[in-house]
Copies of this chain bind each other. A is one copy, B any other.
């Protein structure tokens, strides 16, 4: 049994921090020491920020975004095009698209992808809610912004199928060479897709 070198409160904090993505046991220890050393600048404000998020955070009942208001800031933003819904797997994808500034539309977070191996079926995702929203006559287009993985594409096909009877256009993200990417490092599938979808110069 290792000897006791610090209090159980500190051990507990290390254990919990180690469960955050990007932190392992070693970096959780370093983070804990940093917190203790920077008590006023870091530990106290972080505790307060976490408590505030704990007390105020909500999942938007319309789109699935994370916010302190329900409906969220995106759903209630009057400057966004209400005729386009961008479907994403996860809130992190919504945030990534917003950072790109590429689209000014509403979103719909599926909350995952279909994955029979992991036991994730259509009822585990927010697909019925999407169909309801897409049935609104104001909606003209649904952009499927799911990951270019096998599960993501399977999910895209399934969602497209569920939307078939509605008078909405269903589109998906283009495949191609990432901006700044080097051909030598790309896989054959991406290169083939980029050639097929080539555009006039």
Contact = CB atoms under 8 A, between A and B. Distances in A.
A131 interface: no
A150 interface: no
For the complex formed by this chain, how many copies does it contain in all?
2
A92 B99 CA distance: 37
Interface in A37-95: 39, 42-47, 49-54, 56-57, 59, 65-69, 72-74, 77, 90-92, 94-95
B66 A36 contact: yes
A198 interface: no
Task: Please classify the interface of chain A as helix (H, G, I), strand (E, B), loop, or mixed, using the class held by over half of its residues.
Answer: helix
Contacts of A136: none
Interface stretch (A1-9, A137-145, A154-162, A173-181): A1-9
B42 A16 contact: yes
Contact of A29 (B13, B43, B95): B95
B50 A43 contact: yes
A34 interface: yes
A22 interface: yes
A27 B17 contact: no
Interface of A: 2-10, 12-13, 16-17, 19-23, 27, 29-36, 39, 42-47, 49-54, 56-57, 59, 65-69, 72-74, 77, 90-92, 94-95, 98-99, 101, 104
